[in-house]
Amino acid sequence: MRAAIITVSTSRSQSGGTDESGERLARLVERLELDLAGRELIPDDVKQIEARLRHWADVERCELILTTGGTGVSPNDLTPEATRMVIEREIPGISHAMLEASRAHTPYWMLSRGIAGTRGGSIIINFPGSPRSIEQTGETLIEALPHAIRLLTGAPSPH
């Protein structure tokens, strides 16, 4: 099974800066024992985010697509809007679990607007842009994600 990572950051995509958040998601993919099909760094542009999500889901057929960045409340934070245009079914429990995991670590936990959902045989999850937050929220999902992927893809899963 394969995963893709999309880092959404206009400043980093223009400056070529370090993508620490993408690195943290790559570690999460490794812990989930998935093959990393690809990693991208793109600007905060709704059409481009949509296009890349569709590519990784429809063309590359990755079972898991993780985004980081663009989930806050600034005018340029548009990752959830782009994701809503792409997903077919929302998985609100993932978003709720991520918010709850952040609550103990930051007073700003309630400002994250990331969503999760499915498109075909892919699960798409919006992570915050903070590398530290990725570790905190990712830990919460470690047990549930393999089960969700098996269910979505029709693979045998005990439950």
Q: What is the pLDDT of residues 59-104, one digit of tens each?
A: 999 999 999 999 989 999 999 999 999 999 999 999 999 999 999 8
Asked if residue 159 is part of any domain, the answer here is no
Instruction: Give kind and range of the element (H or E) at residue 30.
Output: helix 20-31
Give residue 33's domain range: 2-153
- pLDDT in the model for residue 37: 98
- pLDDT in the model for residue 12: 67
46-70 burial: b if 16+ Cβ within 10 Å, else e: eebbbebbbbbbeeeebbbbbbbbb
pLDDT exceeds cutoff 70 at 159: no
- pLDDT in the model for residue 58: 98
pLDDT exceeds cutoff 80 at 15: no
Asked if residue 158 is part of any domain, the answer here is no
Beta strand ranges found along 10-139 (DSSP E): 35-42, 64-68, 89-90, 116-119, 122-127
Asked if residue 117 is part of any domain, the answer here is yes
Asked if residue 104 is part of any domain, the answer here is yes
Query: How many structural domains is the chain composed of?
Result: 1
Instruction: Give kind and range of the element (H or E) at residue 140.
Output: helix 131-141
Radius of gyration of the chain, Cα coordinates, nearest whole angstrom:
14
Contact 98, 114 (CB under 8 A): yes
- pLDDT in the model for residue 108: 86
User: Residue 110's pLDDT band (boundaries 50, 70, 90)?
Assistant: confident
Asked if residue 146 is part of any domain, the answer here is yes
Give the pLDDT confidence of 112-128 residue by residue, as tens digits.
999 999 999 999 999 99
CATH number of the domain that 32 lies in? 3.40.980.10
Q: Cα separation of 93 and 76, whole Å?
A: 25
pLDDT exceeds cutoff 90 at 26: yes
124 has which bridge partners? 65, 117
Asked if residue 58 is part of any domain, the answer here is yes
pLDDT exceeds cutoff 90 at 10: no
Closest by Cα among 66, 16, 64, 75 to 41: 16
pLDDT exceeds cutoff 70 at 134: yes
